[in-house]
Amino acid sequence: MNVLLDDTNLQFRDSARAFAQREIKPFVQDWMRDGAFPRQIFKRLGELGFLGATFPAAVGGTEAGFLNLVLAAEQVGLASPSLVTAFNMNAMTTPMALLNWGTAAQHDEYLTPMIKGDLIGSFALTEPAGGSDALGSMRTRAVRDGDDWVLNGSKVFITLAPVADVAFVFAKTDPNAGHKGVSAFLVRYDDPGVSVQRMAMAPGLGSLIPPGEISFTDVRIPADRIVGDVGDGFKIAMNALDYGRIAVATKSLATGQVIRDHCIDYAQTRRAFGQEIGHFQLIQGHIADMVTEIEAGRGLIYQAAAAHDQGVAATRLSAMAKYYMAEVTFRAANSTMEIFGGYGLTAEYPIVHLLHLAHLARTGEGAANILRIAIAEDALGFRSMDRHNIRHRAVLERS
């Protein structure tokens, strides 16, 4: 029961839950053990309309909206707190930026196949010199040469790079023009000059959401694969993160619930000093904090999603939802280590894996410190986070 949801939301959530419990959950352990990326699941997520939830019918979307997308992502995340990252990348960050900034031809060739689950996308902003200062550390260059752009440089930590078909790549087109000197390009992984190295990650982070390092050596990109205008890249990246942050917040919400359920089960059954450890008040403190904070985070995420549905500027709310929910889940993961004692470090329970996922959510799409600074500067009146007010195109078209 959730008082924020109506019957349509509940139906959408329940069908996502049925799918995720039937077609994802039973297979997750095998996929992770075999290091296999379940591409076929993306086809199914596309066919069932989950990937296209926030997209207009004109590009193949189902127009279910952001709140429903969050509900579906939460269910995928409850079935697999890892796989939901890949889901988000193909339902939110990459295709939403393409919807808002791409041409009709780019929608046909890349966006529609992505939300149908036929094409796997990725979002390539971070470089080896650092992710938080994405602009200052960007060394990748694109230089115009006749009808093409020629791309040189590299990206790191790019989720799905080893299995994806296309990357949304940000490169400097004018190194002296600050944030107006960055442009966005659609780069195919089979373009000559593109190579990918799978990154070695902590256990559990490498198979369902494989990150890769991408190198670009004299890659020729036809001019019609620039997204937006020359110099729009940084704005596009920031706009994409508005959506990505709701997605990461939702992943944290799911991870937090999985953590919570493990803790409650364990505290109800593990005995010490003649009783279940759940009877000790110091353990109860951890449980009380995690169940309360998870519900508080849920409210913030639903509010951010509803703001997107109403076409209200939602940069601030999305950042707050991502920052808060990731902190909550990270705290819960640390509490889990305490509740599980030594067993938290064994392979018998997935606790270390969940801790890694919680840390990842604090880091990606705006590290905790960076969001904290932005939220404080907004609150202090130094710089409004909603100043760009880039509204969701589907809402614009309806209004």
Ligand X SMILES: Cc1cc2nc3c(=O)[nH]c(=O)nc-3n(C[C@H](O)[C@H](O)[C@H](O)COP(=O)(O)OP(=O)(O)OC[C@H]3O[C@@H](n4cnc5c(N)ncnc54)[C@H](O)[C@@H]3O)c2cc1C
Residues near ligand X, by CB under 6 A: 122-126, 130-132, 157-159, 205, 211, 360, 363-365, 367-370, 373
Q: How far is the CB of 360 from ligand X (least distance, A)?
A: 5
DSSP 25: G
3-class DSSP state for residue 102?
coil
Q: How far is the CB of 80 from ligand X (least distance, A)?
A: 15
295 is catalytic: no
From CA 118, how far away is CA 139, in angstroms rounded? Answer: 31
**In this complex, which beta carbon is closest to ligand X, that of residue 75 or of residue 122?**
122
Q: How far is the CB of 271 from ligand X (least distance, A)?
A: 37
Side chain identity at residue 300, one-letter code? L
Residue whose C-beta lies closest to ligand X: 131
3-class DSSP state for residue 126?
coil
Cβ(38)–Cβ(29) below 8 Å: no
Q: How far is the CB of 26 from ligand X (least distance, A)?
A: 25
**In this complex, which beta carbon is closest to ligand X, that of residue 309 or of residue 365?**
365
Q: Please, how many CA atoms are within 13 Å of residue 276, restricted to the half-sphere of its CB? A: 10
**In this complex, which beta carbon is closest to ligand X, that of residue 92 or of residue 267?**
92
**In this complex, which beta carbon is closest to ligand X, that of residue 53 or of residue 125?**
125
74, 213, 327, 365: the catalytic one is: 365
Query: What b-and-e string marks burial along 18-45, b requiring 16 or more CB atoms within 10 Å of the CB?
Result: ebbeebbeebbeebbeeeebbeebbeeb
**In this complex, which beta carbon is closest to ligand X, that of residue 19 or of residue 168?**
168
Cβ(189)–Cβ(110) below 8 Å: no
Q: How far is the CB of 76 from ligand X (least distance, A)?
A: 17
Query: What b-and-e string marks burial along 79-118, b requiring 16 or more CB atoms within 10 Å of the CB?
Result: bbbbbbbbbbbbbbbbbbbbbbbbeeebbebbbbbbbbbe
Length of the chain: 399
**In this complex, which beta carbon is closest to ligand X, that of residue 228 or of residue 311?**
228
From CA 178, how far away is CA 165, in angstroms rounded? Answer: 30
**In this complex, which beta carbon is closest to ligand X, that of residue 72 or of residue 169?**
169
From CA 107, how far away is CA 94, in angstroms rounded? Answer: 12
Q: How far is the CB of 234 from ligand X (least distance, A)?
A: 13
From CA 102, how far away is CA 104, in angstroms rounded? Answer: 7
Burial label, 210 (beta-carbon count in 10 A; 0-12, 13-18, 19+):
buried
From CA 254, how far away is CA 53, in angstroms rounded? Answer: 19
Q: How far is the CB of 280 from ligand X (least distance, A)?
A: 33
Contacts of 264 (CB under 8 A, 6+ apart): 278, 287
Residues noted as catalytic? 365
